[in-house]
Amino acid sequence: MKETSTGDVAVWQRHLAEGCIYTDEEGNVKTKEGLLKELKPLPKGYDGSIKMGEPTVLAQENVVALSHRDREELELYGQKLITWFHSTDTWAKSQNGQWNLVAVQVMAIPNELKPIALSPEKLDEYVGQYQLAPDVIYTVTREGDKLFGQRAWRAKEEWLPLYEDTFYRKGVWRGEKVFERDASGRVIKLLDRRENNDLVWKKAK
């Protein structure tokens, strides 16, 4: 199903339940009144649409949960942006038999990052063992022009360079691996960055 943004609130007005909870992709929680106030046509120079796909449905007597992955195409002054969202909608049947949307949770799915190229010599600067606790070790190795990280009892993962000293895992948008250096430029720490929180691993050897 493809929907263009016209700013028409009639459908939303009809199907949004009073007191509904709408959580957008930035974590803002909105009421029916607040959401309806935001629904406006796209501004001049913008042209966009959203196509719903990959639906998964759980239906019970008076409640239906719908999970779907949506592709947004937005053209801004001739430049096209493509963004993916994952949404979960909850519908409930009222006493008069009408289905109303009572809750929505939207999550933005970042596009895949693009790695840079680093020389094998540069990658060698990160190779070693990093320690979280005496028996908790992260081992970083190089194979050709690729860098890999492996925590004990877990599978080895390729780390792709986002830029110098910062790596990420392909297909994973949460978390970065950031190397810290001392004043002389020697790598001394590995930061496992999670939602801008750093789990610090100290280089052991």
Domain assignment present for residue 167? The answer is yes
Query: Is the domain of 104 the same as that of 128?
Result: no
Nearest-angstrom CA–CA distance, 18 and 93: 13
Domain final residue, candidates 88, 109, 130: 109
Task: Give the DSSP letter string of 143-169.
Answer: ETTEEEEEETTS--EEEEEEETTEEEE
How confident is residue 189, by pLDDT bands cut at 50, 70 and 90? very high
**Distance between CA atoms of residues 1 and 85, nearest Å:** 14
**pLDDT at res. 4:** 47
The Cβ-side half-sphere exposure at 9, using a 13 Å CA radius, reads: 10
Q: How sure is the predictor about 145, in pLDDT bands with cuts at 50, 70 and 90?
A: very high
CB 48 within 8 A of CB 74: yes
Number of domains in the chain: 2
Separation between Cα atoms, residue 186 and residue 188, nearest integer Å: 6
- Each residue's pLDDT tens digit, 86-97: 999 999 998 888
Q: 114-142: per-residue pLDDT in tens?
A: 999 999 999 999 999 999 998 899 999 99
> What domain range is 79 assigned to?
2-109
pLDDT in tens, 11-50: 888 899 999 999 999 999 999 999 998 888 888 889 989 9
HSE-CB at 41 with a 13 A cutoff on CA atoms is 4
Q: Is residue 191 part of a domain?
A: yes
Q: Measure the CA angle with vertex 189, ends 187 and 194; round to 5°.
A: 130
User: Tokens 């930061």 correspond to what residue?
Assistant: 191
Other Cβ atoms closer than 10 A to 189: 15
Residues 186 and 125 placed together within one structural domain of the fold: yes
How far apart, in Å, do the first and last CA atoms of the chain sit?
A: 55
The secondary element (H helix, E strand) that includes residue 15 is helix 10-15
Regarding whether 22 and 51 lie in a shared domain, the answer is yes
For residues 192 and 103, give the distance between their C-alpha atoms in angstroms, rounded to a whole number. Answer: 34
